[in-house]
């Protein structure tokens, strides 16, 4: 990519980008020529994602962030805006607690774990958007990650499902408030997707849910990337406050 193209490129910040869906999002945006900033609690993983982006020939920035920390999110946004020439065009709120969440009947969920899940999965997108939005120009895009489990009501996972349902509600409020500035806010609700974390949840991860899908195959991280690119691009400029389920036709909403 030439210097001129770099200057014209839009800047995207992807949280939770040390691996899994976050890394897939980051690489997908890089393939489209975006400047890509990646952040994660796992600093080494974020650095590796940045190295993969740079191999594509795209500018990359990486940093560590705790999305539950108001001060850390503000500092991160400031640094990424500097990397982006004073602006952040797209925010992908992907950071979440997922693979380590304990599956328990609602009566047995540890209240401390409930608080952690809510802090990362729901408070995190709020804090990140609050920190980034001052650096967003008109035409900015926020993409939040929910989950198709909100619609299936996955048992013994009340805290995770509730947190992701909250993301949908938060998306709608953000769309109303940020829409006054010409910024769109939408959510993606992936179905069960084969990431490192998902494979660690069960022995039959490769085949889980395949028989319930219209497309009859497992979901790969790359299957979710197109939805993020659509919500981040110009073709979705009049779409906001919406949630797109990407699960191969396991559920029709």
Proportion of the chain in helix, strand, coil states, percent, rounded to 5: 50, 15, 35
Q: In this structure, how many other beta carbons lie within 10 angstroms of the beta carbon of residue 186?
A: 24
Q: Which residue has the tokens 């939005």?
A: 133
Beta strand ranges found along the chain (DSSP E): 11-15, 35-40, 60-64, 90-93, 141-145, 184-190, 243-246
- Encoded tokens for 249: 């036709």
Active site includes 160?
yes
Residue 219 carries which DSSP code? B
Cα 137–Cα 138–Cα 142 angle in degrees, nearest 5: 80
d(CA 115, CA 212): 32
- Encoded tokens for 67: 């999305």
Catalytic residue among 34, 160, 208, 230: 160
Cα 119–Cα 35–Cα 50 angle in degrees, nearest 5: 65
Give the active site residues: 160
């Amino acid at each position: 990519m030439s210097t001129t193209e770099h200057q014209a490129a839009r800047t995207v910040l992807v949280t939770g980008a040390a691996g899994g869906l976050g890394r897939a999002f980051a690489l997908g945006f890089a393939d489209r020529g975006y400047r890509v900033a990646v952040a994660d609690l796992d600093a080494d993983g974020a650095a590796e994602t940045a190295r993969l982006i740079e191999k594509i020939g795209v500018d990359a920035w990486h940093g560590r962030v705790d999305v539950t920390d108001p001060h850390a999110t503000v500092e991160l946004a400031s640094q990424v805006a500097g990397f982006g020439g004073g602006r952040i065009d797209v925010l992908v709120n992907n950071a979440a607690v997922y693979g380590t969440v304990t599956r328990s009947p609602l009566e047995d969920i540890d209240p401390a774990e409930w608080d952690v899940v809510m802090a990362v999965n729901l408070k995190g997108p709020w804090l990140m958007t609050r920190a980034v939005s001052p650096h967003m120009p008109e035409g900015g895009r926020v993409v939040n990650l929910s989950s198709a489990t909100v619609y299936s009501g996955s048992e013994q996972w009340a805290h995770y499902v509730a947190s992701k349902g909250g993301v949908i509600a938060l998306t709608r409020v953000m769309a109303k408030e940020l829409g006054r500035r010409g910024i769109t806010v939408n959510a993606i609700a992936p179905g069960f997707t084969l990431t490192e974390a998902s494979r660690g949840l069960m022995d039959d991860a490769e085949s889980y849910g395949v028989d319930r899908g219209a497309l009859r195959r497992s979901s790969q991280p790359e299957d979710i990337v197109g939805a993020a690119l659509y919500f981040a691009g110009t073709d979705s400029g009049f779409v906001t406050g919406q949630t797109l389920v990407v699960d191969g036709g396991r559920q029709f909403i």
